[in-house]
Amino acid sequence: MESAVRYYRELSRETPIVYEVDVIVAGGGVSGCAAAVSAARNGAKTLLVERNGVPGGIATAGLMSNIGNAFMTLENMPVVKGIPREVVERLVSEGGTKPGWHRPEQPGVVFDPEIMKIVLIDMLREAGVDVLLHALTVGVIKEGARVRGVLIESKSGRQAAVAANVIDATGEADLAHFAGARCRVVPSGGSMLFRLANVDLDRAVDWIGEHRESFPDGSDGVKDYETFRRNWKEFGFFFFPHHGGKKFKPWNDAIESGEYSEKDGDWYALNAFGMYGLAGDGTVVINSNYMWLTDVDVRLYSKAELEGRRVCHRVAEFLRKHLPGFEKAIVVQTAEDWGQRRNRLIEGRTTLTNDDVIAGREWDDVIGRFPLKQVGEPRFGVEIPFGVMVPLNVEGLLVASGKSISTDPVGLIRGMSRCMTLGEAAGVAAAIGSRSDTPAERVPIREVQKQLVAQGAYLGPAERLAALGLQSST
């Protein structure tokens, strides 16, 4: 039984206000970057606060070098545009991904995480966003129910920043929690990704084809081995399905013989073997080890990150022995950040449910769309309502991370393209609200939608926009 918590009483102090801006974005992952860029492009003086030394969050520090290809439906109808698509197109132009990504058969837009860093840095710089790195938001400043700023801790000490509106893109709804919004925590697994160099992916693809009968057809958006091979040979994307290793007989044989275990202490799914690589650089990112965390607790996160790096080397050793083309592979990088899939989320003004998604429900406050990639899906994808980002009990705060918005089940629309869609909309609302010191959640939704359409976001076909009063149907 744990002992009672003891307390230390801090002396009262004055904290210097070092930033006075229109919009503050906490968290510089892809949703936070999209939010900051969107707000700044709409004329708001914007501050982005990020705890790492680079922007990108899970996409860069977390080494998840794959954007799930949720940009078009199975019929190849584009339903995600705006900033999410701009990021991918910039990656293509900078050589960070391949140009043949815009196909329903391509399950993920694999990218170089180093080039992703540059793409995001350039977008933030061009928009005029003030970026504060190595800084952690540790609290909020409130006037009644209204969030008016954040408290920041860094090597510069404790500082404050104030704004008309604040966007929480921390991934764990930290600011919503600090502000007293209604939140809940859902235990889940997370991964520690790592990167291998000196791999021969051509040889690996051919060898996997020799065991075609056990290829994990239909897993993680990959139809079959022929699709997997074509994505590599013709388009330069190596995407082996996450959890596909659990179905692949040669690797299962090693487990059954006792040579390898899918578990290591608290770690499990060591045979998930999600793999993401690009033609030409001889590297591949591995997503293949999980730990289950029950709370948003820095002690648990620390344990996962410390132990996870050792487990990465164990997985790498198995691949060297059991995947031709990987014999000389070396671990050149483990992720700086543990990748927690779900944890704290808000109770929002609107809760998007799985039934809503399957039914293709329309929302008056739609701010974006995404595809289901399944038979019978709505032709123009599924609508995302603005209300999922609006926490209860507080004002002037929007939550823009896909895993911490109000959905049932939690994480229903997590994923990078959807996170950027949320961030772009949050940035627009926050910027518009800042012009008249209006809380972002109270900005007329038609103003937000009109601006989203103007900057290239996709809210639906012409007839849907006409029904919303955004444009004529003719």
Give the tens place of pLDDT for each residue, 73-99: 998 999 999 999 999 999 999 999 999
Residue 472 has pLDDT above 70, yes or no: no
pTM strictly above 0.85: yes
Please name the residues in contact with 55: beta carbons below 8 A apart, sequence gap of 6 or more.
28, 29, 32, 33, 48, 117, 120, 121, 124, 131
Which pLDDT belongs to residue 59? Answer: 97
Task: Decide if 392 contacts 348 (C-beta within 8 A).
Answer: yes
Q: How far apart are CA 263 and CA 314, in angstroms?
A: 11
11 compared with 168, residue with greater pLDDT: 168
Cα(433)–Cα(441) distance, rounded to whole angstroms?
8
pLDDT score recorded for residue 52: 96
> Secondary structure of 293-315 in the HEC alphabet?
ECCCCHHHHHHHHHHHHHHHHHH
State whether the Cα torsion 147-35-135-171 is positive or negative: positive
Query: pLDDT tens digits for 381-398?
Result: 999 999 999 999 999 999
CB 107 within 8 A of CB 68: yes
Q: Cβ atoms within 10 A of the Cβ of 452, count? A: 26
| Residue 473 pLDDT greater than 50, yes or no | no
Give the least confident one: 45-49, 354-358, 438-442: 354-358
Is there a contact between 414 and 342 (Cβ–Cβ < 8 Å)? yes
pLDDT score at 131: 98
What span, in angstroms and rounded, lies between the C-alpha atoms of 180 and 165? 16
Asked whether 241 and 109 are in contact (CB, 8 A), the reply is no
| Extended strands (E) in 335-469 | 339-340, 344-346, 352-353, 366-370, 382-385, 397-399, 407-408
Region 412-430: what's the mean pLDDT? 96
Share of the chain above pLDDT 70, in %: 99
Looking at residue 58, its pLDDT comes to 95
Ordered structural domains, the chain, with CATH? 17-186+344-467 (3.50.50.60), 189-340 (no CATH)
**Average pLDDT of the segment spanning 182-209:** 95
User: 74-112 b/e with 16+ CB inside 10 Å = b?
Assistant: eeebebbbbbbbbbbebbbeeebbbeebbebbbbbbbbb
pLDDT over 90 percentage in the chain: 87
Q: What is the mean pLDDT of residues 441-450?
A: 98
Structural contact between residues 43 and 36, judged by C-beta atoms closer than 8 angstroms: no
Per-residue confidence (pLDDT) for residue 5, from 0 to 100: 86
The string of pLDDT tens digits covering residues 338-393 is 888 888 999 999 999 999 999 999 999 999 999 988 777 888 999 999 999 999 99
Q: Which residue has the higher pLDDT, 13 or 208?
A: 208
Q: Output the pLDDT for position 375.
A: 74
| pLDDT the model gives residue 474 | 44
**C-alpha neighbours within 13 Å on the C-beta side of residue 271:** 19
3-state secondary structure 90-156: HHHHCCCCCHHHCCCCCCEEECCHHHHHHHHHHHHHHHCCEEECCCEEEEEEEECCEEEEEEEEECC
Range with the poorest average pLDDT among 24-38, 250-264, 322-336: 250-264
Pairing state between β 188-191 and 339-340: antiparallel
Backbone angles phi, psi at 287, to 5 degrees: -120, 95
Interval 269-302: pLDDT, tens: 999 999 999 999 999 999 998 889 888 888 988 8
Element (DSSP H or E) covering residue 379: none
Closest listed residue to residue 27, CA positions, set 150, 164, 194, 189: 150
SS3 call for 265? coil
